[in-house]
Structures are given as structure tokens and as C-alpha cells.
């Protein structure tokens, strides 16, 4: 009698789909972890908080000598002239640090969709600066209320109170996105920071110098209103006549730089 031997063939291993990709939610989570693990991020947020709250309180104390026409909301949004630089620099460092360390190659290996990487970074950077600004705004409002006394913010008029503060949060997010866009374009920390600071701080000063030239050079001075800092000041000033122009300008700058960064990211190697 011949025994029959049964040989079991192992089941074939399940093939991993070649097109498997990270979900956008996990990509955002990864970018959040990377950004919050940097010491420079916390230093930047700390400096932003100190400047925002400290200058607001100083403005509140000084406003006691300004007369009755001073809007207390102005003391809360005034520090944005300085904190915008920190926001822009943080945005630039959020991506240029990856290029300097070579981590960008690992990022693009894990997620080959370069547009998704850019959008995820933009979401994380914008939300982080927005959240920080919300916290500093609340602290500044609460801390300055006793100083203002009966001149405190009139919350019944939303257009002169809530709206400027909300737009201040939006402005800080756009400043960070502006820096992020330049970071993707230039891919160098010093260069991206120089471009961001140049747009936010240097160019307004340079354009204002042409005011000495009289009417023939007034058009150059007028160009200053189309810079991000001027646009932010316009949208956070209650009753501004150029509100729509200011809002479009404020959103157009980061949009243009991020689109430029996306084009370069797609066309060149990491």
C-alpha cells in the first residue's frame, strides 16, 4: 500500500498596494509633531506671546493720556506690527529646516504627493499661529480691561470690537504662510527669512521714503497700501474705507508665495 503525502503550499503573501498613501489627517498629524518638536517653534511662540501681551498693556497704560478718542481695540492689535515678523520667520523655518537637515527627502518618500505635503504644512502653521494669537488676544483683553476702566472695549458693537480682533488672528496666520511660501521657494533659511522680513518690514519703510519726492512720486508711496503689513492695519481698523482691498491684499500675498512654492516643489528635486 502506498501512503499519500499531502504537501501544503503556503498561501502567497498579500501584496502591498504600490499606491498606498498616507491619509491627509495622518499627514497633518505628522507635520504637527515635527513642528512642535522644534525648540525654535516654542521660542518663537513665546516671543510672540510676550510681545503681544506686553505691548498691549503698555498701550493701555499710555492711552490714559491719549484722550477720549482712543479705541481700546487698537491697543490689542497694535503689537501685530512686531509679532508679524516672528510669525513670518516661524513660517519660513517650518520648511527650510527640513531642507537644511535633509529631512525633506524622508517626508517626500513617505508622501510622494508634494502638493499634499505643502497643504498639510500650511494648515499646521496657520492653525498654530491662529491658536497662539487667539490665546494672546484673550489674555491681552482680560489684562487690559482694568486699565481701561470705563473706556474698555464695547462688545455690543461687533464691527468695532470682535471683527478687528478676528481679522488680527487671520492676519497673523497669513504672515506665517507668507514665510512658509518663501521657504518653499528659496529653500534656504537665511534667504527665506530675508525675503519675508523684506516684504513685511523693509519695503513699507522704503516706499514711505518717496513721500519726500512730492506728487510726482506719490504713486510709489501709494504702492505701500498693497503690502501685507498695510493691508493688515487696514482690515483691523474699524470703519476703514479700503476694507475689501485690504482683505484681498492680505490673502493674495501668502496665496501667491505658496503657489510659487508648490510649482518649484513639483518641478525640482528635494
- pTM for the whole structure: 0.88
| Stretch 254-268: mean pLDDT | 94
Distance from C-alpha of 82 to C-alpha of 80, rounded to nearest angstrom: 5
Q: Assess whether pLDDT exceeds 60 at residue 270.
A: yes
Give the model's pLDDT for residue 21: 64
The CA-to-CA distance between both ends of the chain, in Å, stands at 69
Element (H, E) at 159: none
- Write out the three cell numbers for 224: 505701500
Give the model's pLDDT for residue 6: 47
- What DSSP designation does 152 have? S
Give the model's pLDDT for residue 67: 63
Q: What is the pLDDT of residues 144-167, one digit of tens each?
A: 999 888 888 888 888 888 999 999
pLDDT band, residue 28 (cuts 50/70/90): very high
Distance from C-alpha of 159 to C-alpha of 239, rounded to nearest angstrom: 8
Distance from C-alpha of 133 to C-alpha of 170, rounded to nearest angstrom: 9
Question: Which is more confidently placed, 72 or 3?
Answer: 72
Residue 103 burial (CB count, 10 A): 13
| Stretch 238-261: mean pLDDT | 93
Element (H, E) at 65: none
Distance from C-alpha of 148 to C-alpha of 154, rounded to nearest angstrom: 11
Q: Assess whether pLDDT exceeds 70 at residue 254.
A: yes
Q: Assess whether pLDDT exceeds 60 at residue 29.
A: yes
Distance from C-alpha of 195 to C-alpha of 127, rounded to nearest angstrom: 22
Q: What is the pLDDT of residues 76-120, one digit of tens each?
A: 999 999 999 999 999 999 999 999 988 999 888 888 999 999 999
Of 20-24, 44-48, 57-61, 111-115, the one with minimum mean pLDDT is 20-24
Give the model's pLDDT for residue 214: 79
pLDDT band, residue 250 (cuts 50/70/90): very high
Give the model's pLDDT for residue 64: 77
Q: What is the pLDDT of residues 109-151, one digit of tens each?
A: 888 999 999 999 999 999 999 999 999 999 999 999 998 888 8
Distance from C-alpha of 46 to C-alpha of 167, rounded to nearest angstrom: 21
| Stretch 12-29: mean pLDDT | 66
Amino acid at each position: 500500500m502506498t501512503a499519500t503525502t499531502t504537501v501544503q503550499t503556503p498561501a502567497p503573501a498579500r501584496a502591498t498596494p504600490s499606491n498606498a498613501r498616507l491619509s491627509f489627517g495622518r499627514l497633518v498629524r505628522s507635520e504637527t509633531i515635527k513642528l512642535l518638536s522644534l525648540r525654535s517653534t516654542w521660542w518663537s511662540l513665546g516671543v510672540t506671546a510676550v510681545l503681544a501681551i506686553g505691548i498691549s498693556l503698555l498701550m493701555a497704560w499710555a492711552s490714559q493720556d491719549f484722550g477720549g478718542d482712543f479705541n481700546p481695540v487698537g491697543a490689542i492689535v497694535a503689537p501685530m506690527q512686531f509679532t508679524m515678523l516672528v510669525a513670518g520667520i516661524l513660517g519660513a523655518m517650518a520648511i527650510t529646516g527640513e531642507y537644511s537637515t535633509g529631512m525633506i527627502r524622508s517626508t517626500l518618500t513617505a508622501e510622494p504627493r508634494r502638493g499634499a505635503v505643502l497643504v498639510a504644512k500650511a494648515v499646521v502653521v496657520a492653525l498654530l499661529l491662529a491658536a497662539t494669537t487667539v490665546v494672546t488676544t484673550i489674555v491681552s483683553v482680560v489684562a487690559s480691561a482694568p486699565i481701561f476702566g470705563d473706556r474698555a472695549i464695547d462688545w455690543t458693537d461687533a464691527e468695532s470690537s470682535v471683527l478687528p480682533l478676528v481679522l488680527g488672528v487671520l492676519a497673523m496666520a497669513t504672515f506665517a504662510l507668507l514665510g512658509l511660501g518663501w521657504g518653499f521657494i528659496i529653500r534656504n533659511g537665511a534667504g527665506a527669512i530675508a525675503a519675508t522680513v523684506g516684504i513685511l518690514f523693509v519695503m513699507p519703510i522704503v516706499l514711505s521714503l518717496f513721500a519726500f519726492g512730492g506728487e510726482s512720486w506719490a504713486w510709489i508711496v501709494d504702492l505701500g497700501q498693497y503690502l501685507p503689513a498695510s493691508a493688515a492695519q487696514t482690515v483691523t481698523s474699524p470703519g476703514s474705507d479700503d476694507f475689501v482691498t485690504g482683505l484681498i491684499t492680505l490673502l493674495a500675498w501668502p496665496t501667491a508665495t505658496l503657489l510659487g512654492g508648490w510649482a518649484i516643489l513639483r518641478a525640482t528635486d528635494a
